[in-house]
Amino acid sequence: MAPKKGLLQRLDEGVVIGDGGFVFALEKRGYVKAGPWTPEATVQYPDAVRGLHREFLRAGSDVMQAFTFYASDDKLSNRGNESSAKYTCRGINDAACRLAREVAEEGDGLVAGGLSQTPTYLSGMSKADTQKEFQKQVDVFVENKVDFLIAEYFEHVEEMEWAIESCLKSGLPVVASMCIGPEGDLHGITVEECAVRMAKAGAHVVGINCHFDPFVTLEGLKKMKAALDAAGLKVHLIAQPLAFHTPDAQKQGFIDLPEFPFGLEPRICTRWDMHRYAREAYDLGVRYIGGCCGFEAYHIRAVAEELAKERGKLPAGSEKHEQWAGGLRMHTKPWVRARAGRQYWENLRPSSGRPFSAAMSKPDAWGVTAGDASLKQKKDATTEEELTNLAKSCKVANGK
């Protein structure tokens, strides 16, 4: 058997499809707790994690991202989290790598180990302290022989540069993806400068994940591309946006919207939104195209179907999904059979079914970020008194 092609060769030759949102999907299924959003499920519920990898593989994902989001030791022991003590940082990351590899081997998938932003940085601690947390995860990724590393969900380019430096020591290809939009990072660095700094730090692929919808994300990527081209920096681009519409989000993205995280459902993108996203991303020159929170397997399948010509194949999951609603030709009712075509779904404006819902919300906009005292993290659980004080500043809870 020919050896597997690596990430960079695949990107040079064509398009690579990423996976979808693990913490969000597994939270809904009952295996991840919203709040800490840590991935101890790799040890507690390996079947659930394995099953989700399989769904994405069947939908067309070329990459199995090991479920190591927020699996730095400091996050696993933040605000009363007992996952570090119970399962250990090493145990959770190691199990994640094994599960991803197991499923990747069932197809032609690549395995990525992932780092994300840390409470250590958010608390204003040093580069050495922050990199110590990264190193614990990178060591496990190297031992498990992952195919590449992905530093994702960073909202400050400074912490991202530190993560890239830690990743590069492994000798593996490094993907760097920030959760920022067209307005740039949370310390006021423009999206253009973030891209240039990630590339200069040595990342092989740079871009954006999470926090914004596919189309806002692509606006950010357009700016990144222009800045990279102007600086003569040759790197590939990655997009892994939300599957929620966020036209009203500000700098801090969807976590600032009042519906985050338990009332976002009316904003979910359709599979047809994802066709448009995949096409626009490809046309912009993005070659690593995937998803983040809210992306389920059918969203990834839509990306794979839109890019079927470019990839020379359809995903296995298309067995149960004829292109452009073709399966509806088998429907019993004539008005539903009439919908068996591309034009119908491209012209549809779906309604929300909620008569008193507005199209947009007002973000919370507390305006604090790393360096602010209110963002200092701690190991102790949040107290009742702290909660009561926080609720006083909360508009929705006070009926405003």
Q: Does 290 bind ligand MET (CB under 6 A)?
A: no
Instruction: Determine if the peptide bond prior to 261 is cis (ω within 30°).
Output: yes
In terms of C-beta density within 10 A (0-12 exposed, 13-18 middle, 19 or more buried), how is residue 351 classed?
exposed
The response to whether 167 counts as a known ligand-binding position is: no
Q: Which is nearer to Zn ion, 64 or 292 (CB)?
A: 292
* Exposure of 212 in the CB half-sphere (CA atoms within 13 A): 30
Among 10, 15, 22, 121, binds ligand MET (CB under 6 A): 22
Burial 239-278 (b: 16+ CB within 10 A, else e): bbbbbbbbeebebbbbebbeebeeebeebbbebbbbbbbb
Question: Whole-angstrom Cα distance, residue 80 to residue 36?
Answer: 9
Considering CB under 5 A, how many residues would be counted as binding Zn ion? Answer: 3
Interaction partner, residue 141 (Zn ion, ligand MET, none; CB < 5-8 Å by kind): none
Question: Whole-angstrom Cα distance, residue 292 to residue 261?
Answer: 14
Q: Does 186 bind ligand MET (CB under 6 A)?
A: no
The footprint of Zn ion on residues 276-315 (CB under 5 A) is 292-293
**Nearest-approach distance from CB 64 to ligand MET, in angstroms:** 11
Q: Does 216 bind Zn ion (CB under 5 A)?
A: no
Question: Whole-angstrom Cα distance, residue 179 to residue 153?
Answer: 5
For β-strands 288-289 and 174-178, DSSP reports them as: unpaired
Q: Which is nearer to ligand MET, 125 or 292 (CB)?
A: 292
Among 121, 134, 153, 277, binds ligand MET (CB under 6 A): 153
Other CB atoms within 10 A of residue 12 CB: 11
Identify the three-state secondary structure at position 37.
coil
Q: Does 292 bind ligand MET (CB under 6 A)?
A: yes
For residue 247, which amino acid is it? P
Interaction partner, residue 56 (ligand MET, Zn ion, none; CB < 5-8 Å by kind): none
Q: Which stretch binds Zn ion (CB under 5 A): 190-198, 209-217, 274-282, 375-383?
A: 209-217
Question: Whole-angstrom Cα distance, residue 253 to residue 255?
Answer: 6
For residue 380, which amino acid is it? D
For residue 31, which amino acid is it? Y
What's the distance, CA 135 to chain centroid? Answer: 21
Interaction partner, residue 151 (ligand MET, Zn ion, none; CB < 5-8 Å by kind): none
For β-strands 174-178 and 236-240, DSSP reports them as: unpaired
Q: Does 228 bind ligand MET (CB under 6 A)?
A: no
Q: Does 210 bind Zn ion (CB under 5 A)?
A: yes
Interaction partner, residue 264 (Zn ion, ligand MET, none; CB < 5-8 Å by kind): none
Q: Does 131 bind ligand MET (CB under 6 A)?
A: no
Q: Which is nearer to ligand MET, 211 or 236 (CB)?
A: 211
Contact string (CB under 6 A) for ligand MET, positions 23-62, x = contact: x---------------------------------------
**Nearest-approach distance from CB 261 to Zn ion, in angstroms:** 10
The footprint of ligand MET on residues 57-76 (CB under 6 A) is 65, 69
The response to whether 394 counts as a known ligand-binding position is: no
**Nearest-approach distance from CB 55 to ligand MET, in angstroms:** 13
CB within 8 Å of 244: residues ≥ 6 apart: 213, 254, 264, 267, 268, 269, 293, 294
Q: Does 21 bind ligand MET (CB under 6 A)?
A: yes
Question: Whole-angstrom Cα distance, residue 246 to residue 255?
Answer: 10
**Nearest-approach distance from CB 263 to ligand MET, in angstroms:** 17
Q: Does 210 bind ligand MET (CB under 6 A)?
A: yes
Query: Do residues 153 and 252 lie in contact, with contact meaning Cβ atoms separated by under 8 Å?
Result: no
The response to whether 89 counts as a known ligand-binding position is: no
In the annotated binding site for Zn(2+), the residues are 210, 292-293
Q: Which residues bind Zn ion (CB under 5 A)?
A: 210, 292-293
